[in-house]
Structures are given as C-alpha cells and as structure tokens.
C-alpha cells in the first residue's frame, strides 16, 4: 500500500507550502459539503492532501465544522494517515504558549455535533481506548523536534463545545480532572477517523493558559492570534518533515487502526438500511 498523508489544518493554517503538482480540488461527499476544497500534491515522493478545518478565511465555527464530510472526503481520496493540527489552551505551567503537545487521550464535552457515521439501520461500535495512533504520533514527535519545536509527548485534550472560551470555574475543574490542554475541534474528529479506519495523530499548538492561570487572566483573541501566527510557521515546518519520515510505502498499522471495523458492525445484514449503507461506501466499504 502507498502512503497518503492527510493534514487537517486548524486555526491559523489554511494552506500548505512546498507541495509539488499542487492543486485545489472539490470533492463531493454523501455527508454534505466539506469545510473547503482540498489541496492535493506530493512531497518527497509521498502523496499529500491538505484540508483547512475552518475553511479558507475561517468561515466555520468549531460547532459548524462538517466533521463527517471532512473525514469522508479524506477517506474517499485514499488517505491512509491523518494528522490533525489545532490550536489549544494549556492547563500546565510547563506546557507554555508556543509549545506543541502530541495528544494521546481525549475527554469529549461537546454536545451539538454528529459524532458517528453509523446509526439506526447500521449500528457499529469501535474501540476508542487509544484514540490516536502511536506510530503516527512518533513521526510527529520526531518531526517537531527536528524542526526545533518544544514538543511534549502525551497529553489529555478536553474538547469543549465553544465558541466561547472557558469560565474560570470550568478551567479549574478541567485542570483538576488531569486534563493537559483544551480545544474545540478534535472531537468528534478523532472518533470519526477511527470509524473510517484511518490512523490519526493530534498535534495541539498551545496559544494561551486558558483562564486558570493567576498571572494570565482571561484569554484574549488578540494575544491568541499573535501566537497562532508563530505556531503556524512551526507547524508547517513539522508537516514538511513528515513525508520523509513516513515514506511512500506503508505496511498495515501495527496498532490496528486500519482494521477498527473488523468486529464493530452489530446490525444483521438483512436488517441494514440500504440508504445508510450506500452513504458508508468509502468509510466502511471494506467490511460492508
């Protein structure tokens, strides 16, 4: 199998530099329109796909991002590995603005989003005990260090609905739970990537200390934007190194991300909803 890397760019990252044969293309999905067209190309002999999560010009709020369409489009284009890049706040003194965190766990506090491709007429349950791919996270860690980024391996990401930032009481509560960073977009994205049998790694770029820190007070958008711009440059350096690290030839995932649906389907074939099954052609065609 050939490697095809999908990058989902978060706040401050709306494009990707250095791609050969670069072109923006529109891809249709039965789950609705994705956030934007996707940028296709190749880097060091590896196919790359870039999708701006909020759309160019930042038109989608965290709640209105079409998460299902985005993941479906990447799967439909043959993506094998997804790297999510997103902005976040920090709950830890040693995880400072400008640092990056390779997230490995999530607590999902979102409530206004569709979180599964499956449902009435075709029920499935996938494991999310380890929601990110360790192999892909290793590559992101190496790429970050080689790019000179202060990068922390491992962290729990609290996904909040937004678009407002946390109250101080919420910030202190989430910190007491053992969360390391807070953001608004990695859920349900990671859940959907697992349902689509895609390896998924999450790179969280710290912009602020949320509102718990006694010396920093409330989050200010003006401060966030300045750090976002600096983080965006570093993130592009990290992304540019991934193709060489992952290489063009891809073996099956040693952690089973690409076989997540092997024992997930619950609905008897005779009772499956044909319309839903048709929409699942890219996501679950391997097992359907």
Known catalytic residues are 208, 210
If we measure between CA atoms, which residue out of 242, 281, 284 comes closest to residue 262?
284
Query: Any residues with CB less than 8 A from the CB of 157 and at least 6 apart, and which?
Result: 88, 101, 103, 105, 106, 107, 179, 180, 181, 182, 183, 186, 202, 204
Q: How many Cβ atoms are within 10 Å of 104's Cβ, its own excluded? A: 19
Alpha-carbon torsion (59, 5, 68, 99), positive or negative: negative
Q: d(Cα 42, Cα 243) in Å, to the nearest integer?
A: 9
Phi-psi map region of 77: left, alpha, beta (phi>0 left; psi -120 to 50 alpha):
alpha
User: How many C-alpha atoms does 271 have within 13 Å on its Cβ side?
Assistant: 9
Query: Any residues with CB less than 8 A from the CB of 268 and at least 6 apart, and which?
Result: none
Based on its alpha-carbon atoms, the radius of gyration of the chain, rounded to whole angstroms, reads 18
């Amino acid at each position: 199998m050939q490697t095809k890397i999908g990058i989902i760019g978060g706040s401050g990252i709306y494009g990707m530099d250095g791609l050969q044969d670069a072109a923006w293309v529109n891809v249709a999905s039965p789950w609705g329109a994705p956030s934007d067209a996707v940028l296709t190309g190749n880097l060091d002999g590896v196919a790359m796909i870039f999708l701006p999560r909020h759309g160019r010009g930042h038109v989608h709020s965290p709640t209105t991002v079409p998460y299902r369409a985005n993941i479906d489009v990447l799967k439909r284009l043959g993506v094998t590995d997804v790297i999510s890049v997103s902005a976040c706040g920090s709950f830890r003194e040693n995880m400072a603005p400008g640092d990056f965190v390779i997230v490995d766990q999530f607590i999902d506090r979102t409530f206004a989003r569709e979180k599964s491709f499956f449902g009435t007429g075709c029920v499935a349950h996938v494991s999310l005990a380890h929601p990110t791919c360790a192999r892909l996270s290793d590559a992101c860690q190496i790429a970050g260090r080689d790019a000179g980024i202060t990068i922390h391996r491992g962290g729990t990401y609290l996904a909040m609905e937004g678009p407002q930032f946390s109250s101080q009481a919420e910030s202190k509560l989430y910190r007491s739970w053992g969360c390391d960073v807070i953001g608004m977009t990695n859920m349900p994205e990671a859940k959907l990537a697992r349902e689509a049998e895609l390896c998924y790694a999450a790179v969280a770029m710290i912009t602020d200390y949320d509102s718990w820190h006694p010396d920093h007070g409330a989050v200010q958008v003006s401060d966030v934007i300045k750090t976002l711009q600096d983080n965006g440059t570093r993130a592009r350096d990290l992304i540019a190194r991934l193709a060489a690290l992952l290489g063009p030839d891809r073996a099956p995932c040693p952690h089973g991300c690409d076989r997540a649906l092997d024992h997930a389907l619950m609905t008897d074939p005779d009772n499956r909803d044909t319309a839903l099954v048709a929409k699942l052609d890219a996501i679950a065609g391997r097992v359907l």
